[in-house]
Structure 1
Amino acid sequence: MFTTSGVPLPAAGPEDPVSEVMNGTARRWYRPGPAGTPGPAWNRSCGEQLLDFGRPEKMVIGALLAVIAAVTVVGNSLVVIAVSAVKKLRQPSNYLLVSLAVADLSVAAAVMPFVIVTDLTGGEWLFGEVFCNIFIGMDVMCCTASILTLCVISVDRYLGITRPLTYPVRQSGQLMAKMILGVWLVSASITLPPFCGWAKNVHTAGVCLISQDFGYTIYSTAVAFYIPMLVMLVMYYKIFKAARKSGAKHRFTDFARHECLETVASEALRMRGLKPQGVAEECVTLSRLLSRERRNISIFKREQKAATTLGVIVGVFTVCWLPFFILSTARPFICGVECSCVPIWLERTLLWLGYANSLMNPFIYAFFNRDLRSTYRDLLRCRYRNINRRLSAVGVHEALRV
Structure 2
Amino acid sequence: MLGETSVERVLMILQTIVFLMSCSGNAIVVLVIWKYLRRRAVTNKFIVNLAVADMFTGVASLSQILYTFVPSLNDNLYTCLLRYNVVIFMTLTSQLTVTFTTFDRYIAICYPTKYMDIMTPKVAQFLILISWMYPCIISILPFSGLNNWNTHLVCVFQQVVKTWQLLWMALTLWIFTIVTVAMYGLILRKACTVYNQVRPSIGSVVLVRTVEIERNKMENKYRTEKMASVLRGAKALAAVTLVFSLCWLPYTYFQLRAFINSEYIYSREWDIATWIVFLGMANSVMNPFIYAWQRKDFNQACKRLFSCKAPLPRQPARNGSYSVRGVF
Residues 154-165 of structure 1: matches in 2 within 5 Å?
A: 154-165=102-113
C-alpha distance 340-143 of structure 1, shift in aligned 2 (>3 A): farther
The partner residue of 1:370 within 296, 308, 322 is 296
Q: Which has the higher strand share?
A: 1
Residues 305-324 of structure 1: matches in 2 within 5 Å?
A: 305-324=232-251
TM-score when scaled to structure 2?
Answer: 0.84
C-alpha distance 307-104 of structure 1, shift in aligned 2 (>3 A): closer
Residues 346-361 of structure 1: matches in 2 within 5 Å?
A: 346-361=272-287
Answer whether contact 1:100 1:149 (CA < 8 A) is retained: yes
C-alpha distance 144-197 of structure 1, shift in aligned 2 (>3 A): same
Q: Which has the larger radius of gyration?
A: 1
Answer whether contact 1:202 1:209 (CA < 8 A) is retained: no
Amino acid at match of 1:386: A
Q: Which has the higher helix share?
A: 2
Residues 47-62 of structure 1: matches in 2 within 5 Å?
A: 51-54=3-6, 62=12
The partner residue of 1:188 within 130, 136, 147 is 136
- Greater RCO (Cα-Cα under 8 Å, separation 6 or more): 2
TM-score when scaled to structure 1?
Answer: 0.70
**Cα deviation per residue 1:356-394 (whole Å; 9 max; x = unaligned)?**
221112222333332222222333x251x52244x66xx
The partner residue of 1:341 within 263, 267, 274 is 267
Does 1:217 pair with 2:166? Answer: yes
- Distance in 2 between the 1:72 and 1:286 partners? 52
**Cα deviation per residue 1:29-84 (whole Å; 9 max; x = unaligned)?**
xxxxxxxxxxxxxxxxxxxxxx5234xx7665543432222111111111222222
- Distance in 2 between the 1:376 and 1:382 partners? 8
State the identity as a percent: 20
Q: How far apart are residue 340 of structure 1 and its match?
A: 4.4
Q: How far apart are residue 150 of structure 1 and its match?
A: 0.7
Unaligned runs of 5+ in 2: 316-321
RMSD over aligned Cα atoms? 3.1
- Distance in 1 between the 2:149 and 2:304 partners? 45
SS at match of 1:139: helix
Match of 2:99 in 1: 151
C-alpha distance 108-74 of structure 1, shift in aligned 2 (>3 A): same
Does 1:288 pair with 2:236? Answer: no
Amino acid at match of 1:53: T
- Distance in 1 between the 2:223 and 2:311 partners? 32
Answer whether contact 1:106 1:142 (CA < 8 A) is retained: yes
C-alpha distance 342-329 of structure 1, shift in aligned 2 (>3 A): farther
Q: How far apart are residue 312 of structure 1 and its match?
A: 1.9
C-alpha distance 70-179 of structure 1, shift in aligned 2 (>3 A): same
Match of 1:387 in 2: 311
Count of residue pairs the alignment pairs up: 317
Amino acid at match of 2:130: G
Unaligned runs of 5+ in 1: 1-23, 26-50, 265-281
- Distance in 2 between the 1:96 and 1:188 partners? 18
